[in-house]
Structure 1
Amino acid sequence: MPDSISISPRPGSANDAIKVRGACPHDCPDTCALLTTVEAGVAVKVQGNPDHRHTGGVLCTKVSRYTERSYHPERILQPLRRVGPKGSGQFEAVSWDSALDEIAARLQAIAQRDPQAIAPYSYAGTMGLVQGEGMAGRFFNKLGASLLERTICSAAGTEGLTQTLGGKVGMKVEFFAEARLILIWGSNSIASNLHFWRHVQEAKRRGARIICIDPRKTETAEKCHEHIALQPGTDAALALGIMHELIVHDWLDHAYIESHTIGWPLLRERALLWNPERVAQVCGIPVEQVRALARDYGECFVNGQPAAIRLNYGMQRVRGGGNATRAVACLPALTGAWRHRAGGVLLSSSGMFPVNQAALQRPELRAGRQSRTLNMITIGDDLLRSSSADFGPKIEALIVYNSNPVAVAPDSGKVVQGFAREDLLTVVLEHFQTDTADYADFILPATTQLEHWDVHGAYGHTDVLLNRPAIAPVGQARTNTDIFRGLAARMGFSEPCFLEDDETLCRTAFSHRDGDRINFDELLDKGFATLPGPDAPFAEGRFLTPSGKCEFFSARLAAQGLDGLPDHVPNHETAGTSASYPLAMISPPARNFLNSTFVNVKSLRDIEGEPLLEINAVDAAVRGIATGSVVKVFNQRGSYRVRAEVSNRARPGVVHGLGVWWRKFGLDGTNVNELTSQHLTDLGRGPVFYDCLVQVQLEAESVL
């Protein structure tokens, strides 16, 4: 690193301070508006923008410390080339020209044989439309590389909502404050949806009843009136049980059902199979809790009061996650909850944003070439495959950006084996030497959110946000877009679209032939703009499905040979079915990290402590485990050593491996994904992180 570069903030004169509007880039429903205070060219403070109604000047602990990421002493500030064995983390500094020249030459040699042997791997390290798949999409389309199914988070729920409501759409988050009943289903909102929790608190002050449905007794569950601790993967059964009671007691809006739904007679027949006793047995909860939940929901209809459901991604990370989402999404149409602006369901609002992905990513650059599609969940298996007629060419090159697959992908023992291949060219765009970067041939230093242009939609509200660069790139860091432009130029890609700058790409994101959907001047002026739309989107039906109705029965699923109705789909690995692995394990995120981001920020890691396995006192006692014990958690895929915490957050028979810690911070260089599988969900080909059986045993190490 050149001597003239400092990565420590340098305070300047107060008169020099400016505030730059931006947006939080992280994978969170809140998508906060930021204000970055800059003094003498250095960012000294990041805070929430008080003018943005959803942010209200408040940031989570993680993002309020964002300058610690941008000026982190371990930040990578120049290109690095591997000099040691893969995984050793041994690198030497090289120039940008040297790195890009060598990478481009090696990619060209592979592409001449078969460009499908080159694959991207990316996800939501930034949610930005420009630094995400903007210029990167153009590069890989022109190259003809393999396509990637980016399904690691929300694919099952996306498909479930699409088949039922027509897309990732729902009620507006701000109106939860007016609801009389709120079901928080599969979400630890205090940790992962902070600004939504403000609306919950307001509703609670107005007398609303708040119920949390979650296998784990989270911080959110502790603050609700009731916690329903169902078995992992049984959410659809509970939703069908609610339907059963709505039918039996006639807590139904027959007019809404008649006018605005399809498939009611078939759904009614199925729901009547799910009496409270059956539901209680499947879900592992008291039968009266099933009845009371349905009564709470049904009586809102009887009393003309709005009932709102906030879904999140925990419930869909099991085999039946798509069906579970479908089942819950049917409930508001049964009681006509959609008639109220404070009624309905919200999993994601991202389907409301008119993003022009084609203009950003330019799929026509493939020029009709066929490309195979890889699923990011199965990267462990795919990196170990040889060329075949079914699979296509062996993967010879992998370009990773906005992701840390060695830490976050399931069945990580296989993922590590694949990344350790000496014949695999691996290029990683990163801020830090993550678990994945340790296996790179080249690490290319990327800019953080404070250093580049970007534009963001949201999945928890309906505002578009613009991010302006607050500071110049630190060290030799370059934007993702610049890196892909540099590779494109070296590979002879001469199309004008590779020369467009980032502000142009920001404008392109919401541009359409019939006119821009977002006023970009408003974004430049305020930093955010609100999408137009009705307060109660489905009060008069008008769903986004082909029929225009809420589709209890999906003809599209039936045409694929799938069940057209939602149903309970048991887990791939169902609790109580294995003598060798008797415990169900879920792996919810640690509160002070966001997936694997922020794990290396010491102040946050100090708050979080260390990787833990939460275990109920009943399960701990029979194994001789106490808080602080080192335990071995294992199954047929691998093993993971971690400290235990005996906790009432875990129900008997279920343990919680808190994630996603970097492997290098684990007791033996692994993390909880050593145990998770590459199985896929029923709909959407998503991951099943919470569909996992394990055994836990006490290790010989003493208790701390």
Structure 2
Amino acid sequence: MATTIVRAVCPHDCPDTCALHVTVQDGIATEVRGDPDHPTTAGVLCTKVARYTERTYHKDRVLHPLKRVGKKGEGQFEQISWDEALTTIAAKLKKIADRNPLAILPYSYAGTMGLVQGDSMSQRFFHKIGASFLDRTICATAGGTGYKYTLGARVGTDVEQTQNAHLILIWGGNPIASNLHFWMRVQEAKRNGAKIIAIDPYRSLTAEKCHQHIALLPGTDAALALGMMHVLIKEDLLDHGYISAYTTGFEQLKQRVAEWTPERVAEACGISMDEVVNLARAYGECAQRGEASMIRMNYGMQRVRGGGMAVRNIACLPALVGAWRHAGGGVQLSLSDTFPKNLTGLQRPDLFPQSLTPRTINMSTIGDDLLRESSGSFGPRIEAVIVYNSNPVAVAPESNAVARGFAREDLFTVVLEHFQTDTADYADIVLPATTQLEHVDAHSAYGHLYMMANNAAIAPMGEAKPNTEIFRLLAHRMSFDDPCFRESDDELAAQAFKQSDARAVHFDWSSLKKTGWAKLRVPDAPFAQGGFLTPSGKCEFYSEQMQRDGYDPLPTYIPPYESVASNPALAGKYPLAMISPPARNFLNSSFVNVQSLRDTEGEPHVDIHPEDAQHRQIASGDTVRIFNDRGSFVALARVTDKARRGLVVGLSIWWKKFASDQKNANEVTSQRLTDMGGGPTFYDVLVQVEKG
């Protein structure tokens, strides 16, 4: 048998962006392993991606174009030809575009993180047609906005320096499930004597393995950061030299945080005063000893009303103590902006008709927006949605509204997919897309600093086509004759990064395809000598830009929309907070249909504290109903003190069709948006739980 090893990349929405070795025998991918030479992957894969061949060769792969024959949502289809599919789609889009192209909406997110198969040819197509823009907010825009106001860009600590830290705060994340290769380096730091502290409402798999777990109330992270700053300043655990040289607004910050005493913070966060004070002292004293302290923020903390401000507050901490001086010190939320991506060249916004005034739809409010009528302020009613790299019926908030929107008989819906997802069930046309093993792509990352190349390991299965080819074919059917619609995937990948940028002057696509990965040329400690990417060039404790944009220019606390403290009337009906962090065996809604992973995860369940369970006469294994005014879903109860009192945790995101009631946790989430960035508030939810 002919055996080859093909260099590839994990495409999924994870900071690790692993380098892969795909074993191919006689045209069949037989194994996917981590690249042992890639410094962050180090030969290790998560349980999900290690089973990637099981997903690629899944018996339920969509391998031919399909046309709906039943009612929307029933998932009844018949096979059609590519010619019929393309003809039908082009005719429908032309008819709508002739009236108003803004009535057409793309809906995509991070089903692949690839720069080619993600949003290159597709964006060219939608720009050319004049479709509405999609504001892709569903994951990280709130935190990214707060972070950029403070530091200037999503730049931070290199994960490869983690093992050099002496104190690591894992804030709002569960890296064992969602950032495994960072966790491997945390373990190395721990063996070297580092102290590891988890800050999370839930005692996750990660929190269980840390030296300390601080279980604050959901949505109160900003208050805890203010309390830490209060103690650091009061006890003079500061780096005055760094503050003087590389920050602005310290005196105003000092006045603001004076109000946030440990007593006030403890009450707001539902923790003890000692936890507030000792956390601040551990952080400040580490820096005073000249040792590196690292904060790894993740996205859990920013999925609440004040999520952007929470990230901003935490991003201020390293500059106060001078943690940025050290490789392995500072903070990381995302490294996305470290990469000099050539998005303008890939996406070609210049193709958008100058005669049109653009309209932007926030993907986090897709439920309400699909149900809106045409109006002067909203613009034309959405008449067509083309979904790719996403599964909004499962993942978007207030799922009942989302499903009702997609169920509109007058809405023309096209879905590019690998499987018949919850969203595909509502499609008029389903188009078979290739998986990562079947196409070419170029990748950046948001958890490490390597440019990556994905080579096609096998030929496309059935009649599946890459996203790029599907949009090339649609462009041809729409008579778009611009040369850019004829560029190949390799030609697109060669444009992925700006070769004129010093960080990527060594980028060459043909070479990268052979080597698989190449690290950006950046310093080990990005802000050791300032150089922040803010308007002032400094870490901005006081942000004039925030003031101009209508925000408080100083760190503050914005309470949740829904909590016992902020909304006692609502809490009288729905007294339990709910969060729905990722289940270990799923990645957002990907992998839910892989039987071995679903078997490992078990049935949909919620964790509830013993006291809350006893009050409701609930025992482990009972079927419970979780509900509020927006909707309800059922799950099995797990009575455990992993959930703090007053909190229920529904590990997610299940496809609805695999739940006994055809519902998931997003039935109870809200379409209300975050303080900045227009992000969703998935973890800003009050519910009631009842047996049966």
Scaled to the shorter chain, the TM-score interval is over 0.9
Distance 2:8 2:499 in 1: 24
Matched, 1:32 2:31: no
Q: Does 1:61 align with 2:54?
A: no
Counterpart CA distance in 2 for 1:692 and 1:614 is: 15
Q: 1:678 pairs with 655, 658, 671, which one?
A: 671
Please give the secondary structure, in 2, of the residue aligned with 1:61. Answer: coil
Q: Select which of 589, 594, 599 maps to 1:596.
A: 589
Q: Secondary structure at the match of 2:48?
A: helix
Which of the residues 373, 381, 402 maps onto 2:368? 381
Match of 1:529 in 2: 518
Match of 1:372 in 2: 359
Deviations 1:278-337 (A, max 9, x none): 110000001111111011001112211111100000010001010000000000000011
Q: Give the equivalent residue in structure 1 for 2:62.
A: 76
Equivalent residue, structure 2, for 1:98: 84
Q: Which amino acid aligns with 2:666?
A: N
- Matched residue, 1:438: 425
Task: From 400, 425, 428, give the equivalent of 2:387.
Answer: 400
Pair 630,313 (structure 1): closer, same or farther in 2 beyond 3 Å: same
Identity of aligned residues (%): 61
Cα distance in 2, alignment partners of residues 59 and 513 from structure 1 = 34
Per the alignment, residue 19 of structure 1 pairs with: 5
- The answer as to 2:379 corresponding to 1:412 is no
> Does residue 1:625 correspond to 2:618, yes or no?
yes
Query: Which range moved further: 553-562 or 379-388?
Result: 553-562
Deviations 1:218-257 (A, max 9, x none): 0000000000000000001000100011011100111110
How far did residue 650 of structure 1 move? Answer: 0.3
CA contact (8 A) 1:522 1:528 kept: no
How far did 1:631 drift? 0.8
1:184 CA drift (Å): 0.3
- Provide the rounded CA distance (Å) in 2 between the counterparts of 1:607 and 1:80: 31
**What letter is aligned with 2:199?**
I
Q: Which letter does structure 1 place at the counterpart of 2:645?
A: P
| Unpaired stretches in structure 1, ≥5 consecutive residues | 1-12, 700-704
For residue 87 of structure 1, what is the amino acid of its counterpart? G
Q: Give the superposed CA RMSD.
A: 0.9
| TM superposition shift of 1:512 | 5.2
Partner AA of 1:377 in structure 2: S
- TM-fit CA distance, 1:514: 6.9
Q: What secondary structure does 1:183 align onto?
A: strand
| Equivalent of residue 555 in structure 2, options 563, 566, 569 | 566
| Matched residue SS, 2:634 | strand
Give how far 1:199 is off. Answer: 0.8
Q: Does 2:495 align with 1:508?
A: yes
Matches within 5 A, 1:69-468: 69-368=55-354, 369-468=356-455
Deviation (angstroms), 1:522: 3.3
Match of 1:552 among 522, 541, 546: 541
TM-score with structure 2 setting the length: 0.98
3-state SS, counterpart of residue 162 of structure 2: helix
> What amino acid maps onto 1:589 in structure 2?
P
Q: Is the 8 A contact 1:519 1:529 kept in 2?
A: no
Q: Which residue of 2 aligns with 1:478?
A: 465
Q: Whole-Å Cα distance in 2 between the matches of residues 302 and 53 of structure 1?
A: 31
1:626 counterpart SS class? coil
- Confirm whether residue 693 of structure 1 aligns to residue 679 of structure 2: no
Quick check: 1:100–1:486 contact (8 Å CA) kept in 2? yes
CA distance in 1, matches of 2:429, 2:443: 29
Contact 2:494 2:508 survives alignment (8 Å): no
Structure 1 CA distance for aligned equivalents of residues 232 and 62 of structure 2: 57
CA–CA distance in structure 1, aligned partners of residues 620 and 230 of structure 2? 42
Query: Does residue 668 in structure 1 map to residue 650 in structure 2?
Result: no
* SS class of match (1:627): coil
Displacement after TM superposition at 1:524 (Å)? 2.0
Aligned to 1:3: none
Following TM superposition, by how much is the alpha carbon of 1:53 offset from its aligned partner in structure 2, in angstroms?
0.7
User: Cα deviation per residue 1:661-687 (whole Å; 9 max; x = unaligned)?
Assistant: 001111211000000000100011001
Q: Distance in 2 between matches of 1:520 and 1:40?
A: 27
Letter in 2 for 1:564: P
For 1:579, the equivalent position in structure 2 comes to 572
The one-letter code sitting in structure 1 at the alignment partner of 2:432 is P
SS in 2 for 1:508: coil
> What is the CA distance between 1:527 and its match in structure 2?
0.5
Q: Give CA-to-partner distance per residue, 1:523-551, whole Å, 9 cap, x none.
A: 12210010001111101001011111001
Deviation (angstroms), 1:342:
1.4
Q: 1: CA distance between counterparts of 2:328 and 2:458?
A: 41
Shift of 1:642: 1.2
Q: Pick from 652, 655, 660: which aligns with 2:648?
A: 655
- State how far apart, in whole Å, the 2-side matches of 1:401 and 1:514 are: 31
Counterparts of 1:86 and 1:318 in 2: how far apart (Å)?
A: 32
Distance 1:268 1:356 in 2: 40
* Displacement after TM superposition at 1:513 (Å): 6.2
- Cα deviation for residue 575 of structure 1 reads 2.6
Contact 1:425–1:441 under 8 Å retained in 2: yes
Which residue of 1 is the match for residue 607 of structure 2?
614
Shift of 1:338: 0.4
Conserved? CA contact 2:101–2:129, under 8 Å: yes
- Structure 2, unpaired ranges of 5+: none
Contact 1:217-1:229 within 8 A present in 2 as well: yes
What is the letter of the counterpart of residue 474 of structure 1?
A: M
- The runs of at least 4 aligned residues of structure 1 exceeding 2 Å deviation read 511-517, 519-522
CA distance in 2, matches of 1:34, 1:304: 38
Amino acid across the alignment from 1:413? N
| Contact 1:356 1:512 survives alignment (8 Å) | no
Using the alignment, how far apart are the partners of 1:347 and 1:363 within structure 2?
A: 28
Letter in 2 for 1:60: C
| Separation of aligned partners in 2, 1:481 and 1:235 | 41
Whichever residue aligns with residue 306 of structure 1, its letter is A
User: Could you tell me whether the CA contact under 8 Å between 1:173 and 1:196 is conserved in 2?
Assistant: yes
Whether contact under 8 Å (1:21, 1:33) holds in the other structure is yes
Indicate whether 1:495 and 2:482 are aligned. yes
Q: Residues 23 and 34 of structure 1 are in contact (CA less than 8 Å); yes or no, is this contact kept in structure 2?
A: yes
Deviation for aligned residue 1:75: 0.5
Instruction: Assess if the C-alpha contact under 8 Å between 2:340 and 2:501 holds in 1.
Output: no
Contact 1:522-1:529 within 8 A present in 2 as well: no
